[in-house]
Each structure stands twice: as C-alpha cells, then as structure tokens.
Amino acid sequence: MPYGILGFVAHEDIHPTLEWQSEIERALHTMDAFIAVHTLGFSASFWTQQEVGFAVGRGVKVISFKMGEDPTGFISKQQALARRDRSAEAIAEEIDSLLSEDARTADRLKQAKESLGPASKWDDVPF
C-alpha cells in the first residue's frame, strides 16, 4: 500500500560529494513530520538530540518510535510507538494513521496520496 510519505535518512539519502550538514538542515527545514527512531544510543547522540529539538521548535508532528530505548527530553512526555513483534507494514499503517489524524499533517498527506494515483499501479513494488 502506498502511503505518500517520503522519508529522509541522512546516511542513506545524501548524495556523495554534497555537504552533508547542509542537506540535513534542508531536510529539517522542509519536513512535515519527524519520526524519531529510538535505537540504543539515540539519546546519547548530540546530532539526534539537535534534530529532535529542531522538530519540536518548528512545531511539526513528532512520533517517537521505540526500538530499544525510551524517548528522553521534551518528547518523552508523549507515548512512544512500540515496535513489539509487529511487521514493518503494520508499523507503517499505524504511522499513516497517526499522520492522517493530526491537523498538522492530515491535509498534506491526503494531497500526497491523491498525487500517487490508483493504488493498483503499486502492486508490483517489491517491498
């Protein structure tokens, strides 16, 4: 199922030879939502803490996804999304639902989904 959501993961999405910090800053300035994936060591990283602070300061929807570590700081007051033993598809569906229900992201997500066209054209996507 296509969700109309584009993600940015710095070590995966920055093209070689580009200035990585500028690309991260561009992504932070243009994001509609922020999903913090709390793996072990997340809270100890200066970079992830600054990224979280940037998202909170911009007032975008923040979803904490707990994968081994509890959220800390300003976002710890909100219940985290737990991995449990769910599939990636089940987690994606829940994130889609959370973004669809939030006033900050619902309209933009709806527009993105509408621009995808019929869902049947995505049946051959191998993941």
The region of weakest confidence among 84-88, 107-111, 123-127 is: 123-127
pLDDT value at 125 more than 90: no
Helix, coil or strand: residue 120: helix
The mean pLDDT of 98-119, rounded to a whole number, is 87
Architecture of domain 10-114: 3-Layer(aba) Sandwich (3.40)
Q: Where does the pLDDT of residue 121 fall: very low under 50, low under 70, confident under 90, or very high at 90 and above?
A: low
70 vs 17: CA distance, rounded Å = 35
What pLDDT does residue 127 have? 39
Give tens-digit pLDDT for 2-41. 677 777 787 787 888 888 888 889 899 999 999 999 999 9
Give tens-digit pLDDT for 51-83. 999 999 999 999 999 999 999 999 999 999 999
Q: Indicate the residue type of 1.
A: M
What DSSP line would sit under 94-113, residue for residue?
HHHHHHHHSTTTHHHHHHHH
